[in-house]
Amino acid sequence: LGKCLLSPIVLAAYAYNRSLSELGPGGRGEDEPGVLCQLFAFLMAFFGLAPTLLLLAMALECWLSLGHPYFYRRHLTRRLGVALGPAAGGLCALFCALPLLGFGVPMQYCPGTWCFIRMAGGGPRDLAFPVLYAGLMGLLVVAIGACNVSSMRHLYGMARRQPRRGAPPAAAAPRMEELDHLILLGLMTVLFTVCSLPLIIRAYMGAFAADINENADLSALRFLSVNSIVDPWVFIIFRTSVFRSFVRRVCRRL
Tell whether 167 is covered by a domain. Answer: no
User: Do 117 and 41 meet the contact criterion of CB atoms below 8 Å apart?
Assistant: yes
Q: Position 205: which residue type?
A: M
In eight-state DSSP terms, residue 115 is E
Domain count, the chain: 1
> Can you give the residue range of the structural domain that contains 128?
1-161+172-252
What CATH number should be reported for the domain holding residue 3?
Answer: 1.20.1070.10
Question: What is d(CA 179, CA 190) in angstroms, rounded to the nearest whole number?
Answer: 17
Residue at 51 is within a domain: yes
- Domain annotation covers residue 156: yes
The answer to the question of residue 89 being in a domain is yes
Query: How many other C-beta atoms can be found within 10 angstroms of the C-beta atom of residue 64?
Result: 19
Is 185:155 a contact under the CB 8 Å cutoff? Answer: yes
8 A C-beta contact, residue 140 and residue 50: no
3-state class percentages of the chain: helix first, strand second, coil last, to nearest 5: 80, 5, 20
* CB distance 187 to 233 below 8 Å: no
Residue 45: helix, strand or coil by DSSP? helix
Taking only the tens of pLDDT, the chain with its 254 residues reads: 888 888 888 888 888 888 877 777 765 555 667 788 888 888 888 888 888 888 888 888 888 888 888 888 888 788 888 888 888 888 888 988 888 777 777 778 777 788 888 777 666 666 778 888 888 888 888 898 888 888 878 877 776 765 555 555 555 455 566 666 777 777 777 888 888 888 888 888 777 766 677 777 788 888 887 877 887 787 777 766 767 677 767 767 76
Report if residue 22 sits inside a domain. yes
Asked if the structure places residue 166 within a domain, the reply is no
